[in-house]
Amino acid sequence: MADGTPRAASRSLAAASPWRIERRALPGPVAPYRVAAILAGVLAALVFGPVVANVDAGTFYSTVWTATFGSQFGFSNVLLLATPLLFTALAACVPYRLRLWNIGADGQMFLGAWVAAAIAFSVLPDATGVLLMGAMIAGSAVGGAVWILMPALARAYLGVNEIVTTLMLNFAALYWLVYWATNPWRDPVSAAGVQSKAIPDAAQLPTLTLGLITIPVGFVGAIVIAALLWGYFRSSKLGYELRIIRESAGAAAYAGIPIQRRIVGVMLIGGALGGIGGAIEMMGNVYMYSDALSSNIGYTGIVVAILAAGSELAAIPIAVLFASMVAGGNALSTAGVQSNLVIAVLGFTVLVAALGDGLARFRLVRREASVPADAGGKHGSQLDDAGERAEVNV
Amino acid sequence: MSAELIVASIAAALTAGTAVLIAATGEMLVEKAGIYNIGIDGMMLTGGLAGIAAAATTDSLLLALLAAVVAGALLAGVFGVAVIAFRADMIMAGFALVFIATGLCAQLGHKWERVPSEVRIPQWDIPLLSKIPYVGPSVFENLSLVYIALLLPIAMHLFLSHTRAGLNIRTIGESPAAADAAGIAVNRTRMVCILVGGAFAGIAGAFLTLGVLGTWLPGATAGQGWIAFGLVIFAGWRPLWLLLGATLYGALGTLGSVGQALGWNVPTEVFSALPYVGTLVVLVVLAWQRSRKGGWSAWPTSLGASFSRSGG
């Protein structure tokens, strides 16, 4: 029997300790496990970082500290990195409300930025100020949404796995970008790398300064959008419908909620947010249509969304934290460390979070002579009546 | 279009589809047991790097492939412990594999990056068959792993459909509770399938590094692990259909060089994007066809459902 040995082990363990592990009737809250996952990731990076990076501890910590929260320049840079990351995190968070995965934020960024660049280069070359920037950002939202339209429709009406489809479009978008950046919009002066000519000065976003800290306007915008989305889903009819669909698709269908349209809806919102992120990154940091617009920002955004458990509000501090990890990694990469190592740390946090989702199904209960009547509700006490069946074979 | 070009294109298409074919065959086994591991790309990277590293240190192809198998299975083991023992979310655990492998391999593989490997997967010209005009040079003068890869889905089909163990695995995928009642060790069998799937992905990665590229690159897989995941859906969970899917994918990947040889005036980016767009379009069109006809797919009904006796 597959479960024979672990079951025996847990039984002997249970006999020795006053605690026992009990299955919850419904999975418990995951938030504590997500927080634990983030802490584990940060701790792992700080403890094992110097070893894996093969630099002495003093250099490691001082480099990372200066590059993140320890200097005004470092902190400004963290905010700059956090800006597109928060957008891609939101792009994943909104579909995650229906437990759908938007893996395509990188592609949506490229397409959003493409529309924005097209507006700046060709459609409204003479426009300036708010009109130009507004048009670019609105256009980028449309671009990102169009880019996810096919996966959204295929998921809603045909049940095609959205992980595969949104991911495939990342690669397609990358080649789309390479074509436009190196052919029609080629930089006539510098031919190096995949980058277009610069976007007009009028299309470059301003920054705010707070003392010596530079705050990108895009970052403020991302925070406002995150808060608005969170509040809207919390209090609106749509948010309520999404919660019902997530808890029970059958009940939602019975209540007359158009599930398929809601699936398309959240995915399009996600795509639009990814598109805006691309335009903001181009207008506020990169200043040209280039593959530098996203170096795994879309994938990192998924990690942020996972650890935020889909909460747009929780995504804000997590995005800043992860941006600081990336900034630390980049600073160390001059010392010969691959900044890719940060990705491994992100993976570790996701793994811990995934374990936490499993653990949230259980709880520790003190072993007492009399079993509490409300142990796990009605369902739970039925399990208790069945004796050891309530004890879990991990 | 000359005969040489056609011959060369078919050979190239077979090679281009081989890695996804191997990885998808492994994933097919995993999914038939009711588990989906979307971390294929990570296991392929790990296998690819392990293969290169072992080849560089031991000069032995056999040990290199063995290292790839072990590395892929080890990473799959992490996934298996997470989803079976801890009942972790399969999608999140799969993602974790990709991230961990992408980051660690880029760091650990720095030493071998772009260094040509002395050990390569050799070409085999099959006696007699390779002498057949046109067919011989296009099919039977290939890297040795290509032939084995072509046999894998057939072996997987025979195993799943005609052996007791295969029946057990399919039962688990359909209904873990029923399988448990029938005395099948559900979680142990699932763990074995996950490990085997990881081993397949590891070999697939080693095929890319030791066979196609001849060196290590951090982006060696170029997302082929995800294509393999899509391929299983394309095949409708029927192993033999993987052959068609992988060949199609390989053909799309080869079209670029054909176009170049024929002087087509199309941007190269179009051809580069074609395998990915093609995968997407084919998946959608097939799903649309199947939604109208229905009943074709051999989808395991309990795919994604974790199992323990106490329910939940």
Q: Which residue has the tokens 């082990």?
A: A9
Between A366 and B60, the higher pLDDT residue:
B60
Q: Does any CB of chain B come closer than 8 Å to the CB of residue A342?
A: yes
Are the Cβ atoms of A164 and B279 closer than 8 angstroms?
Answer: yes
| Mean pLDDT value across residues B11-16 | 89
Q: What percent of chain A has pLDDT over 70?
A: 87
Q: What percent of chain B has pLDDT over 70?
A: 97
User: Is the per-residue pLDDT at A381 higher than 80?
Assistant: no
Which structure tokens are listed for A160?
Answer: 């095609």
What pLDDT, on a 0 to 100 scale, did the predictor assign at position A2?
A: 42
Preferred mutation among A34, A168, A194, A322 to probe B, highest tally of B CBs within 10 A = A168
User: Is the per-residue pLDDT at A373 higher than 70?
Assistant: no
Q: Does any CB of chain B come closer than 8 Å to the CB of residue A101?
A: yes
| Mean pLDDT value across residues B19-26 | 97
- Report the gap between the CA of A78 and the closest CA in chain B (Å): 21
Rounded to an integer, what distance in angstroms lies between the CA atom of residue A45 and that of residue A112? Answer: 33
Are the C-beta atoms of A354 and B89 separated by less than 8 Å?
Answer: yes
Condensed to tens digits (0 to 9), the pLDDT of residues B159-183 reads 999 999 999 999 999 999 999 999 9
Residue of B89, B269, B287 with shortest CB distance to A179: B269
Which structure tokens are listed for A215?
Answer: 């705050």
Condensed to tens digits (0 to 9), the pLDDT of residues B225-283 reads 999 999 998 898 999 999 999 999 999 888 888 888 888 888 888 888 988 999 899 88
Whole-number Cα distances in Å, A158 to A162, A218, B283, B292: 11, 36, 10, 10
| Mean pLDDT value across residues A289-295 | 88
Q: What percent of chain A has pLDDT over 90?
A: 59
Backbone angle region of B177, left / alpha / beta, with phi > 0 → left and psi within -120 to 50 → alpha:
alpha
Condensed to tens digits (0 to 9), the pLDDT of residues B130-142 reads 888 887 888 888 8
| Mean pLDDT value across residues A369-390 | 41
Between B126 and B160, the higher pLDDT residue:
B160
What pLDDT, on a 0 to 100 scale, did the predictor assign at position B139?
A: 80
pTM, whole model, 2 decimals?
Answer: 0.88
Nearest CA in chain B to A333: B107
| Mean pLDDT value across residues A156-161 | 91
Residue A377: name the closest of A393, A392, A388, A390 by CA.
A390
Q: What percent of chain B has pLDDT over 90?
A: 61
User: Is the per-residue pLDDT at B18 higher than 90?
Assistant: yes
| Mean pLDDT value across residues A76-99 | 95
Out of A40-49, A69-78, A144-153, A356-365, least confident range: A356-365
What pLDDT band is residue A156 in, cutting at 50, 70 and 90? very high
User: Is the per-residue pLDDT at B64 higher than 60?
Assistant: yes
- Report the gap between the CA of A303 and the closest CA in chain B (Å): 9
| Mean pLDDT value across residues A188-199 | 81
Are the Cβ atoms of B310 and A361 closer than 8 angstroms?
Answer: no
Are the C-beta atoms of A140 and A112 separated by less than 8 Å?
Answer: yes
What pLDDT, on a 0 to 100 scale, did the predictor assign at position A16?
A: 64
Residue of B106, B280, B311 with shortest CB distance to A165: B280
Are the C-beta atoms of B279 and A146 separated by less than 8 Å?
Answer: no
Alpha helices in B61-89 (DSSP H): 61-80
Nearest CA in chain B to A357: B88
- Report the gap between the CA of B305 and the closest CA in chain A (Å): 12
ipTM value greater than 0.95: no
Largest alpha-carbon pair distance within chain A? 82
Beta bridge partners of residue A210, listed in sequence order: A213
How many Cα atoms within 13 Å fall on the side-chain side of residue B193?
Answer: 30
Which structure tokens are listed for A164?
Answer: 């595969």
User: Is the per-residue pLDDT at A370 higher than 70?
Assistant: no
Residues 121-160 of A with CB under 8 A from B: 150-151, 154, 157-160
Looking at this protein, which amino acid is placed at residue B303? L
What pLDDT, on a 0 to 100 scale, did the predictor assign at position B312?
A: 45
What pLDDT, on a 0 to 100 scale, did the predictor assign at position A383?
A: 37
Are the Cβ atoms of A168 and B277 closer than 8 angstroms?
Answer: yes
- b/e burial code for range B69-93 (CB count within 10 A of at least 16 → b): bbbbbbbbebbbebbbbbbbbbbbb
What pLDDT, on a 0 to 100 scale, did the predictor assign at position B176?
A: 93
Condensed to tens digits (0 to 9), the pLDDT of residues A356-367 reads 888 888 887 877
What pLDDT, on a 0 to 100 scale, did the predictor assign at position A387?
A: 36
Other Cβ atoms less than 10 A from the Cβ of B3: the count is 11
Residue A140: name the closest of A267, A271, A276 by CA.
A276
Phi, psi of A56 (to 5 degrees): -70, 150
What pLDDT, on a 0 to 100 scale, did the predictor assign at position B3?
A: 80
What pLDDT, on a 0 to 100 scale, did the predictor assign at position A29?
A: 82
DSSP readout, B24-45? Answer: HHHHHHHHHTT---TTHHHHHH
Preferred mutation among B280, B284, B296 to probe A, highest tally of A CBs within 10 A = B280
Residue of A24, A178, A340 with shortest CB distance to B218: A340
Which structure tokens are listed for A141?
Answer: 């939202």
| Mean pLDDT value across residues A237-259 | 92
- Report the gap between the CA of B151 and the closest CA in chain A (Å): 26
Preferred mutation among B276, B279, B292, B297 to probe A, highest tally of A CBs within 10 A = B276
Condensed to tens digits (0 to 9), the pLDDT of residues A7-51 reads 444 444 545 677 887 778 777 788 888 999 999 999 988 998 888
Residue of A23, A340, A357 with shortest CB distance to B92: A357
Are the Cβ atoms of B230 and A340 closer than 8 angstroms?
Answer: no
- Report the gap between the CA of A389 and the closest CA in chain B (Å): 6
| Residues on chain B touching A24 (C-beta within 8 angstroms) | 312
Are the C-beta atoms of B225 and B23 separated by less than 8 Å?
Answer: yes
Task: Quote the crossing angle between the two packed helices B241-262 and B3-32, to the nearest 10°.
Answer: 150
What distance lies between CA B17 and its chain's CA centroid?
9
What pLDDT, on a 0 to 100 scale, did the predictor assign at position B126?
A: 84
Mean pLDDT of chain B: 90
Preferred mutation among A340, A363, A388 to probe B, highest tally of B CBs within 10 A = A340
Rounded to an integer, what distance in angstroms lies between the CA atom of residue A100 and that of residue A119? Answer: 31
Mean pLDDT of chain A: 85
What pLDDT, on a 0 to 100 scale, did the predictor assign at position B239?
A: 96
